[in-house]
Amino acid sequence: MVNYLIRRVGYALIMVVLVSFVSFAIIELPPGDFLTQKIEQLRARGDRSAEQQVETLRVRYGLDKPFLERYFNWAINFLRGDFGESFEFERPVSEILGARLGYTVVLAIATTVLTWALAIPLGVYAAVKQYSLGDQIISVISFIGLGMPGFLLALIIMYFAIIIFNLEVTGLFSPEFQDAPWSFAKFMDLLGHLWIPALISAVTGIGGLVRIMRGNLLDTLGQPFVEAARARGLKNRTVTWKHAVRIAINPLITILGSDVFPSIIVGSSLVAIVLNLPTIGPVFVDSLRKLDMYLAGTCIVFLTIMLLIGNLVADLLLAWVDPRIRLE
């Protein structure tokens, strides 16, 4: 088991290096760099005085150096905990991400808890009462959730919140709490705002999970061991949860790992942009657009790390839940 863990972590490290290099290269692919864009903007405004500064900036950010050298400099500094400086914000990447990490994690956890707490019971209900009215309703809703992009739902909710309830739903805080120190009132204000992005992400995320849960459980309910459990005189609820769901839930554990951990970094970026949330997602998308290399690269590396951790955790969880795949 320890051997297995060491091997997995080793593979993960190699993976992180490869992904960071490839993503750095891909960000590099479009012609020009961050400063070319900046100059274009300045020119468009007719401001020529800044053009002289550009060369100094280029040297300062190391953009005049070849690609490989820039990558290795950044990678080595990365290991020391220095993720570089963002061109756009003109501040260290760690500072920008750090300020947003807390809210991102809170939102990711809230979304995950809400999604899973709804999806699993709904999926189980839909499977146990297959073709009933409840099943049909759940199916329709989950297909809508699957088909509707989160940002569209966010726009719809914003529209109705403002028109009907006269509610301001963007951001995570009301204006008066924005810069206030933490207090119970501020916490309640956070909860009051948090449910909207959490609900939107949950509605779009539930669909797939409900369908998978329902399908798996229907397969499992047809298995001989479920009939055998019933023939032992167990209650239907015990048969369903203890014998069928316990087996049918395994694929969801894999999804949990590959879905939830990365979402801590880039969870529902588009929804966050629409709702103007102070999470990492919008910053990440923006950094890709503006060729803000060090910020984007750092996000991608952490995204990869989260995905790898998620997969490892999922594998360990699976082994814990299912004795058939335990390593002897």
Q: Does 253 bind another protein (CB under 8 A)?
A: no
d(CA 105, CA 261): 10
Q: Does 132 bind another protein (CB under 8 A)?
A: no
Q: Does 129 bind another protein (CB under 8 A)?
A: no
Q: How far is the CB of 310 from another protein (least distance, A)?
A: 23
Q: Which of residues 14-73 bind another protein (CB under 8 A)?
A: none
Per DSSP, helices labelled H in 33-183 are: 34-44, 51-60, 67-79, 93-128, 133-147, 150-163
Nearby residues of 277 by Cβ (< 8 Å), 6 or more positions away = 103, 107, 170, 171, 172, 197, 271
Residues facing 92 on adjacent strands: 85
Q: How far is the CB of 227 from another protein (least distance, A)?
A: 7
Q: How far is the CB of 133 from another protein (least distance, A)?
A: 16
Counting beta carbons within 10 angstroms of the beta carbon of residue 31, is it exposed (0 to 12), middle (13 to 18) or buried (19 or more)? exposed
Q: Which of the stretches 71-79, 183-191, 283-291, 317-325 binds another protein when contact is defined by CB under 8 A?
A: 317-325
Q: Does 236 bind another protein (CB under 8 A)?
A: yes
Q: Which of the stretches 38-46, 95-103, 186-194, 226-234 binds another protein when contact is defined by CB under 8 A?
A: 226-234
DSSP string of 175-218? Answer: GGGTTSPP-HHHHHHHHHHHHHHHHHHHHHHHHHHHHHHHHHHH
Q: Which residue from 35, 93, 126, 229 is in contact with another protein, where contact means CB under 8 A?
A: 229
Q: Which residue from 43, 91, 246, 289 is in contact with another protein, where contact means CB under 8 A?
A: 246
Q: Which residue from 9, 228, 241, 251 is in contact with another protein, where contact means CB under 8 A?
A: 228
Q: How far is the CB of 215 from another protein (least distance, A)?
A: 18
Per DSSP, helices labelled H in 222-292 are: 224-231, 236-238, 246-248, 250-266, 269-275, 280-289
Nearest CA to 207 out of 159, 272, 255, 160 is that of: 255
d(CA 144, CA 12): 36
Q: How far is the CB of 232 from another protein (least distance, A)?
A: 4
Tell me 168's DSSP state. -
By C-beta, is 186 or 230 nearer to another protein?
230
Q: Does 168 bind another protein (CB under 8 A)?
A: no
Q: Which residue from 45, 165, 224, 327 is in contact with another protein, where contact means CB under 8 A?
A: 224
The count of residues interacting with another protein (CB under 8 A) is 20
Query: Are residues 83 and 169 in contact, defined by beta-carbon separation less than 8 angstroms?
Result: no
What residues make contact with another protein under the rule CB under 8 A?
223-225, 227-236, 243, 246-247, 321-324
